[in-house]
Amino acid sequence: MHPGLDLFMELCYNRTFPVIEWFMFEISQKQGKKEVISAIFIIVFAAIFVVSNLFLGFSLPVYLATMLMAAGIAFFYPLSGVWAVIFLTVVFERFFTLQSIFWGRNEWKLYPIDLILGAVILGTIFQMLNGKIKWQFKKPDWLVIGFAVLAIAYFFLSVGVLGGDMAVSFSSAKNYAFYPLVYFLVWLLANSQEKIKKTLQFVMAGAVAIIAFISYGIINGGGLWTEFTPLSTEGVRILAFSHAFYLGLALIGSLAAYLGGEWKNKTWFLILSAIWAVGVIGSLMRHLWIALAVALVFLLALATREQRQKTGKLIAAYVVVIIGIAMTIFYFSLMLPRSAIHEAVSGVTSAVEQRASSLTGNSEDESFLWRATVWKEALREYSKSPVLGIGFGQAVFIEIGRYWDLVEVRNVHNSPLVIFVQMGLAGLGLFGWLGWTFAQMAWKQARRDWVSFALLGALIYYGVAFLFQPYLEANLLGIFFWIILGLIRAQGKLSEQAKPYENTRNQ
């Protein structure tokens, strides 16, 4: 086995998992132990399948033995299923969310995430029919339903009238109509402040697991699963794009918790935040740097004076530590100019510097050229059908010098633009209305507690990132958007329930 992979497994099983176990223990201490334990069992069963599939290849008996057990538990404990989906997506990303079933020569795109979510949906409906879950749909809910219904309508329109590819059209409709159901699952099931916090803690636990991937990337000289996002400049990513994106969410949540006094052990916060920041920077994903910076600056602007002072002290401590480490590494690299340390430092510095400098708008950067060309061609196609849009399952032809390609519109690196081109003004208008409604809800709740503060930051983070990648068009990226909206709705529901009590108390 590869030495780097040996070390990676060592970090996973002997170093990272004990920390994750501590996180899980902390989650289960207050209440809802059955739900947390059930989530852990779902995670274990699903992880056995994913790891087996990675090392041994797909096995239908293993799939049935593990995933049916996981789905069965998720049916009886729906919230546990949601928590498990969060953790498994953060850790295994596409190998959990996009793994097909192979039966003979046939490929069935029923992913592990779909099976668990299907069980969660059925379990939730069962509890609703039994009266265990009470619900009343309001404007935000109808907006999500409206967007999903519009996507379904566009699927039939695309296949029947606009000539879209059947498989691609179905995939697009699934991302826009099926995964938004997670929004309803979250706000219906996370019906207390403790459950909302635990939902966020499962994200944090997954982010802790990603530390093993960061370590592997640093030691191996290249990150695991980074081949799915090749660089347009020199350098090597130490962390995959999706993992870096999840770490951005974790950083926003951990900072909000720190400012809200939620972190009992501040040392852990300082260590984890620093490691996560290294992962985000080492991913060399420029748009994540921008999105995270915008979200953090916005949160600090909204923070109280005391919280800003607290953050200032935190930044000062980090600066001192970073300068000390940098000077030490720089000293040894100068003293040993032909050593591996010198080459590694030079390589990392050059890669980060080149990626950062390209943000000024380097017209020779292949990534910028590709995006500009694809956006232009997508809008040109849209101009042919400005009322309805071009529908799902379409592609645009691009030519950049000697580079020719046929790019699926759903892969255009800009989610709002993809919605606009495919679903016209109706789709973009409805999605914009939906986003604005939840942004207002998050804004009103942001000063009440650290959870709402974190959710607002995560929504801003998504809003910026949307402009650079197809987030809603990939389940491993888009699902957290619907989870965030669901948590915002759940927070709003709790606030509404608290108002009558507050009014009675003040009389």
Instruction: For residue 117, give its domain range.
Output: 19-134
Domain count, the chain: 2
pLDDT at 343: 56
> Does residue 390 lie in a domain region?
yes
Tell whether 129 and 183 lie within a shared domain. Answer: no
Closest CA to 423 of 146, 37, 134, 51: 146
- Cα(184)–Cα(482) distance, rounded to whole angstroms? 9
Both 122 and 154 in one domain: the answer is: no
Q: DSSP 3-state assignment of 398?
A: strand
Over 70: is that where the pLDDT of 24 sits? Answer: no
| Three-class secondary structure assignment of 372-389 | HHHHHHHHHHHCCCCCCC
Tens-place pLDDT, residues 49-69? 999 999 999 999 999 999 999
My answer on whether 127 and 170 are in the same domain is no
Q: What is the pLDDT of residue 505?
A: 46
Q: Looking at the domain assignment, is residue 2 inside a domain? A: no
Concatenating the DSSP letter of every residue in 329-389 gives: HHHHHHHSTTSHHHHHHHHHHHHHHHHHHGGGT-TT-HHHHHHHHHHHHHHHHHTTSTTT-
Quickly state the pLDDT bin for 27 (edges 50, 70, 90): low
pLDDT tens for 201-210 read 999 999 999 9
Are 252 and 307 contained in the same domain? yes
> What was the pLDDT predicted at 325?
65
454 and 346, same domain (yes or no): yes
Least confident of 37-46, 83-92, 330-339: 330-339
Lowest-pLDDT choice from 26-40, 255-269, 320-334: 320-334
Q: In terms of domains, do 367 and 325 share one?
A: yes
Residues 157 and 99 in one domain: no
Does 361 reside within a domain? Answer: yes
More confident residue, 500 or 142: 142
Indicate the residue among 75, 102, 134 that finishes a domain: 134
pLDDT higher than 70, residue 358: no
Q: Mean per-residue pLDDT for 305-309?
A: 79
Is the predicted pLDDT of residue 493 greater than 60, yes or no?
A: yes
Quick one: pLDDT at residue 404?
Answer: 85
| Low-confidence winner among 29-38, 198-207, 294-303 (lowest mean pLDDT) | 29-38
313 pLDDT exceeds 60?
yes
Quote the pLDDT of residue 503: 47
Average pLDDT, the chain: 85
pLDDT digits (tens, 9 = 90+) for 100-115: 998 878 888 899 999 9
Q: In terms of domains, do 431 and 447 share one?
A: yes
Could you tell me if 190 and 303 lie in one domain?
yes
5 is a domain residue: no
Helix axes 286-302, 241-259, angle to 10 degrees: 10
Task: Place 333 in a pLDDT band, splitting at 50, 70 and 90.
Answer: low
- 367-401: per-residue pLDDT in tens? 888 889 999 999 999 999 988 999 999 999 988 87
Whether residue 201 is found in the same domain as residue 277:
yes
134: left (phi over 0), alpha (psi -120 to 50) or beta: beta
Structural domain includes residue 338: yes
Same-domain status, 159 and 298:
yes
pLDDT per residue over 405-458, tens digit each? 899 999 999 999 999 999 999 999 999 999 999 999 999 888 778 899 999 999
Shared domain for 164 and 188, answered yes or no, is yes
| Of the candidates 352, 347, 315, 355, the residue with the CA atom closest to the CA atom of residue 329 | 347
Q: What's the mean pLDDT in 483-495? A: 93
Q: Which phi and psi angles does 446 have, rounded to 5°?
A: -60, -35
> Of 119, 134, 149, which residue sits at a domain end?
134
The domain boundary, picked from 134, 167, 188, lies at 134
The whole-number pLDDT of residue 355 equals 63
Query: Does residue 440 sit within a domain?
Result: yes
Question: Is 8 among the domain residues?
Answer: no
Which pLDDT score, from 0 to 100, does residue 445 have? 85
pLDDT at 506 over 50: no
Place of tokens 């010198």: 342
457 is a domain residue: yes
